[in-house]
Every structure is written in structure tokens, then in C-alpha cells.
Chains A and B, each alone.
Chain A
């Protein structure tokens, strides 16, 4: 098996990493504030349809060209994701609805809403015209010059991939070094204690959920406009749930999440590119797609290590006002 195949698989895995990492990071902020978010898939779906529309609208209709058009497209996805996540925020925080119920509804409604929006944006319900605008591809200096075809892994990448990889720095910093992050986490671990220190729990939880919408929306927009080039129904392919798996197995830690988002991304890339490799060729591709889920079940069951979610994630906080 030539090294180029591995390189290309690696390159594909970076793309999947970007989707999984941004979405997983969204879930992380939400769950660390105490709101379980299984609606990530739905938030991504809304991001894909608005992102694809935004990239086209800002680049072609408003004639902003590169790179502003595609960038504003990503921003459109983020804002749409945030707006959609506000439904989850209001129902779980204000109305203290069960987080899982609300998340399921988010996922169900997203499918219909995406078609609704697609009808309005593109005049057709299940896809937009292919070949939408995207940011110029970049090659990472030095790494892309590696010999034996290895450099291909680091060339022809969307700049968003790099951007996503570097998001770990502000994310880690905000969570661990900023007062905001410490307070956000305290709302997820022990809201009563947080409140006794004068922290208002609900605003932090709102911020966590809205941030998750923005990140998952960006991730969806990236998938639609940067990776695929147009919107297609069902293009998220359950990646929101794989992101959730990566989030759980990384123990809600933004640095570890990087590794697992990449690993699960690589698992996605294998059937696409490494089908002929020894060992892998013996396995049907469908089994390789199961890997992230199986690994996560093993981890959650505590066979290998133990993951611990934020102590109060999923619990409604009764203390503050509400109806």
C-alpha cells in the first residue's frame, strides 16, 4: 500500500477532525455548564443549510468575493446554530424540561426546519446546487514538503482546519484560567454552591448552550460549504453523535477531545481510502464505522478507565426563579 494513501487518509481525517472537534467543543461548553446536549446533530444540520446559503449569498449575491464570502457563510451557520440552540436553552433552563427530551425534539425539528429553510434559500427541499464558493486551500509550511508523498496530508487543507485546531488554546484557557470558565464549570458541577457564592447559574448555562449552538453551527457550515461544496439532506451522517462520543470518551476535556476527534475522524477516513490495506481489507467497511461507538461504550462501561461527566449535568436547577 503506497504511503500516499495513508497521507490522503490523514488529510481526510483532518477534515473530519474539524467537524468533530468544533461540534464536540460545543457540547463541552454546554455540558460543563450543566446542560446535556444531545441535539448537537440537529444544531449541525441547521448550520449546514444556512452555511451553504451564506457562503453563496455573501460571495456571489453580495459580491464580497474571497475570503469574506465564505467566512461570513461560516458566521451565518454559527448564528443560525445559536438561534436554534436557544430553543434548547429556554426549554431546559427556563422551563426546566428534561434535557434529553428537549435534545430529541431539537434533532427531530432540525430535519424539517432544514428542508423548510432550503426551500426558502434554494427553491428546492433537499439540496443546493453543487460547487459553492469556499476559502482558498492552504498548505502547511514545512510539513507539506515532507518526502514520499507524506506531504499530501498537510496540503490542500481548508484554513478552517487550522483554525479549529488552534481553538483548543482559547477553549482551554477560558475553561481553566478565566473566571468565566471556572464559574461556568461550577454551575455544571454544583449549582447550589455556585449560587451561594453569588454566581447566577442561569446566565452561565445560557451562555454554555448558545456557545454550543454557535460551534456546532460553524461545524455544520464548514461541512457543507468548505468540504462538500453544497447542502445535501442528511450530509451530517450522524457526525453529531460521533462528536458526542468523542466528547464523552475525552472526559469533557478540550485537549483530550482533540485527540479523540482526530482518532474518530481517522476511523471515518479508513473506509474511504484505506480499503485495500492489509488487515483492513479483511473487515467490511461497515465494521470500521462502528469503531467510535464501540470504543465509547467500552469506556463508559468502565472496562478501560472511567469517564466522569460534570456532576450536575442533566439536572434541572430549581433554585433560580423560573416558572
Chain B
């Protein structure tokens, strides 16, 4: 899956210009890809005989035009932040966790069980217990592919796809047997679901503090998501595990030669990723609905992959990427009410956006690297110091070289 190997770049001049060039290049790529996506979207809108400016305007006014609208956007973004963080932390360590989907389903099951059975704890501890149960569930589900990867070399992409399939059935089983509601409402044929969780196990409404309608279900989980994004940033950038993880992710051979245990590092990152994934489902069961049913919102794990790539796997950028995604998703409502364009336009626009972002970044990175390599080469020839050395930022902006299974 390696998209590019790392070329050695020699440090022949202060690298500030290269750094500025990198940031400028990335910004340019972002603007370019947004323009491309919106341009394609505009063509689709025109095909439907509507004015693109009206359509985009409607999307913006429904999401950013009012406090309530923005509340809806943030509520949509909350689970996506957890999900994208889970993807990003693995990606930095050279692994692709496409099992976030299954991990959060299992997290919802364990959290639902905890919500229904931790009633003996004092109220604040109940919520903590439920969240921990969700994280443990996700971690448990991630531990299988993680352990298999480091012990047998089984590729995590394949094993996590399979674990996703198992999780869907596991959730269905849990709702049919151990967690099935105890009394069905009389005379009603309701969907299969758990009993309602006790009020004390639910997450409080954060929107009320800011005067946002309770219909948005904006919860304190958003705050947790932002805090965790900062924690993940700190972990990746300022701790030993993060350093080793990035080393393993960008150059496993060099990391190993430097005395880093690839297996231990990847195992730990994968488990943390699973714990984060376990929080993805909390918004819907603890803030939105208050029970777990067969009508749960699926696909959040896969959407998290898209958001992670939109944010270039940077924990802080992921917050904004999730909000951008939320703005677009909120647009479905705007389209339905304000325009004749079908709401499915949004999901197609999101698809075009993510493709154009990853492709543009890919090209930009390759161009930048080639340019810097060329310049370093020219300077190196001048000064006759061709010894390659590390650059300032060797780990952050490089697509990880992925180990193939044996």
C-alpha cells in the first residue's frame, strides 16, 4: 500500500524555506481540492436545473446561519471526531484500522449493557462507567486484529473487515437475547431494542448552556472529543510512544534498527485506537436516543476514515474536518426544504470532496518532495556534502510505508 517511499533529503540550508513551502503547498492543495469538489458539485446542481449559489447558500445558512443550526452540525461532528482520531492514530503507526466500524458497534453493546446494569453506582460514576465500558468494548474488538498482526503478521485490513462482519451479527444477537427489552409496549410492534437507559446513565445536554435547542442533541461528548483530540496530538507529538509510532509508521526498517519494538508500538497504538472507536457510538445511544436498537446509525467508522483523510490525519485538523463534514451532512435538510435537488446529492458531494482532497494532497506531496530533493541535490553538488540527513519533519508528512504480510 506504500504510495511513496521516503527520499533522503539533505539539510544543506536552514529548512525554514522548506517548512514554509510545505505549509503553503498544503494550504494551496486544500483550497484547490475544495474548489474542485465544489466545482463538480456545481455541475451536478446545474444538471438538476438549479443555481449552485442558491444551493450552497442554503447549505451554509442551515448550518452556520443560526446557533441551532450550528448545534446540529456539532452534534453530527461529535462521533466523527472520535472515529477519525481512531483511524489517524493507527495510520500514524503505519496501520490501517478500517475496523472502527465493528469496534464502535461492539462498544455500543458493552456500553448499553453497562448503562442497564451499573444502576448501583452513584450517578456521576455511572456515566464514567458506561463510557469506560464502551471504550473497553472497542478495545476488545481491536485487540483481535492487533494481536494477530503482531504475532502472525495477518494483515489488519483483512482481519478488521472480517471483525466488522462479525460485529454486525454480534450486535443483532445481543439485541435478540441478552439485551432484548424486557417489556414490549402493549399493542405496538416496535423495533427490536434494549430497555430505555436510566436517566443517570445518559450524557447531559451541552447545547442548553449555549441556548441551543435540545432537538440538536448536542452533548458534552463534543467537549470530550475535543479534549481527546488534543490528547492524541500530545501523545503523537510529545510522548515516547508517539515518537516511536511515527518512526514505525514512516520507516519501519530504520525504527527497528534504532531499537524500537515494532510489535509493541503497533499493538499499543491499535488498542488506543480501539478505545477511541468505542466512543463513536456514545452520541447516538447516550445523547440522542437513550437506548440501543436495530435502527442504529451505521457507517460512522467508514465515514471516520474519510474525515481522517480530510484532516490529513492531524488530530487538530480532524476537529475542523469533522465540522466541515457536519456542515455538508446538515445540508441534506437544507436541500430537502429549500431546493429540488435530492438530498443524496450531499453524499456524492462528500465523496467527490474526499477523493479530490486525497488526490490533490498526493500530487502536492510528490511535487514538493521532488522539488526539495532536486534543490537539495543541486546544493549538495555545490557544497560537496551529499550525505543525506533527516529533515525537521521527517515523520509527519509522509505516507507510512506499510509492511506487507509475509
The segment out of B58-66, B130-138, B168-176 that lies at the interface is B168-176
The complex places the Cα of A189 from the Cα of B93 at a distance, in Å, of: 26
User: Which residues of the other chain, A, contact B163 by a CB distance below 8 angstroms?
Assistant: 293, 297
Q: B6: which A residues are within 8 A, CB to CB?
A: none
Q: Which residues of B331-352 have CB atoms within 8 Å of chain A's CB atoms?
A: 342, 344-348, 350-351
Instruction: Indicate whether A286 sits within 8 Å of B172 (C-beta atoms), given known contacts A297-B148, A297-B163.
Output: yes
Contacts of B402 in A (CB 8 A): 314
**Minimum CB distance partner of B147 in chain A:** A301
B154 touches A297 (CB 8 A): yes
Q: Please indicate the chain B residues that have their CB under 8 angstroms from the CB of A98 in the complex.
A: 1, 3, 358, 399
Check A286–B176 contact: CB distance below 8 A: yes
Q: A95-B359, A292-B165 are in contact. Are A100 and B96 (CB under 8 A)?
A: yes
* A287 adjacent to chain B (CB < 8 Å): yes
**Given the complex, which residues of A lie within 8 Å of B396, measured CB to CB?**
none
Are the C-beta atoms of A108 and B346 separated by less than 8 Å? no
Which of B306, B355, B363, B405 is the most central at the interface, judged by chain A CB atoms within 10 Å of its CB? B355
Q: Is the CB of B2 closer than 8 A to any CB of chain A?
A: yes
- Contact between B176 and A109, CB atoms less than 8 A apart: no
Q: Is B236 an interface residue (CB 8 A)?
A: no
Whole-angstrom distance between the Cβ of A195 and the nearest chain B Cβ: 17
Q: Give CA–CA (A268, B241) in the complex, Å.
A: 43
Q: Please tell me which one of the listed residues A108, A248, A292, A314 contacts residue B299 in the complex, with CB atoms under 8 A apart.
A: A108
Known A38-B157, A296-B162; judge A107-B355 contact (CB<8 A). no
The yes or no answer to A160 lying at the interface (CB within 8 A) is: no
B173:A302 contact, CB within 8 angstroms: no
Contact across chains for B1 and A100 when beta carbons are under 8 A apart: yes
What's the least CB distance linking B33 to chain A, in Å?
12
Please indicate the chain A residues that have their CB under 8 angstroms from the CB of B399 in the complex: 98
State the interface size on chain B (CB cutoff 8 A): 52
Kindly identify, within residues 48 to 64 of chain A, every residue whose CB is under 8 Å from any CB belonging to chain B. none
User: Does residue B362 face the partner (Cβ distance < 8 Å to A)?
Assistant: yes
Any A CB within 8 A of the CB of B72: no
CB under 8 Å from chain A, chain B span 147-187: 148, 152-155, 157-159, 161-166, 168-170, 172-173, 176-177
Tell me if B358 and A97 are in contact (CB < 8 A). Answer: yes
Q: Which residues does chain B contribute within 8 Å of A292, judged by CB atoms?
A: 165
Are B1 and A314 closer than 8 Å at their CB atoms? yes
User: B98 interface residue, CB < 8 Å from A?
Assistant: yes
A261 to chain B, nearest CB (A): 16
* Nearest Cβ on chain B to A307's Cβ, whole angstroms: 9
Contact flags A284-323 to B (C-beta < 8 A → 1, else 0):
1011011011101100111100000101001110100001
Please encode chain A, from 83 to 119, with 1 for each CB lying within 8 Å of some chain B CB and 0 for all others.
0000100010001111111101101110111011001
**B303 interfacial by beta-carbon distance below 8 Å:** yes
A130 neighbours in B (Cβ, 8 Å): none
Q: Which of A115, A244, A300, A318 contacts B154 (CB 8 A)?
A: A300
The residues in B between 293 and 345 inclusive whose CB is less than 8 angstroms from any CB of A are: 299, 302-303, 305-306, 309, 342, 344-345
A108/B302 contact (C-beta < 8 A), A98-B399, A115-B342 known: yes
Which of B158, B162, B348, B358 is the most central at the interface, judged by chain A CB atoms within 10 Å of its CB?
B162
CB distance from B27 to the nearest CB of A (A): 20
- Across-interface contacts of B164 in A (CB, < 8 A): 241
**Cα(A109)–Cα(B351), bound, Å:** 5
| Known A284-B177, A289-B169; contact A119-B342, beta-carbon cutoff 8 A | yes
B3 touches A97 (CB 8 A): yes
In the bound assembly, the distance between CA atoms of A281 and B65 in angstroms comes to 56
A284 adjacent to B176 (CB under 8 Å): yes
* Chain B residues proximal to chain A, CB less than 8 Å: 1-4, 96, 98, 144, 148, 152-155, 157-159, 161-166, 168-170, 172-173, 176-177, 299, 302-303, 305-306, 309, 342, 344-348, 350-351, 354-355, 358-359, 362-363, 399, 402, 404-405
Task: Give me 28 A-to-B residue pairs in the complex whose CB atoms sit less than 8 angstroms apart, sorted by A's number.
Answer: A38-B98, A38-B157, A38-B161, A91-B355, A95-B362, A96-B3, A97-B359, A100-B157, A101-B309, A102-B355, A104-B98, A105-B354, A105-B355, A108-B350, A109-B350, A111-B347, A112-B344, A113-B351, A115-B344, A116-B348, A125-B344, A245-B162, A290-B165, A293-B162, A297-B162, A300-B162, A302-B152, A323-B363
List chain A positions with a Cβ less than 8 A from chain B: 36, 38, 87, 91, 95-102, 104-105, 107-109, 111-113, 115-116, 119, 125, 238, 241-242, 244-245, 248, 284, 286-287, 289-290, 292-294, 296-297, 300-303, 309, 311, 314-316, 318, 323
Given A112-B346, A303-B152, 10 additional A-B pairs, CB 8 A:
A87-B355, A96-B3, A105-B354, A109-B347, A119-B344, A286-B173, A290-B165, A296-B158, A297-B162, A316-B2
Top 6 A-B residue pairs of the complex, sorted by shortest distance between their CB atoms: A112-B347, A109-B351, A286-B173, A293-B162, A115-B344, A293-B165
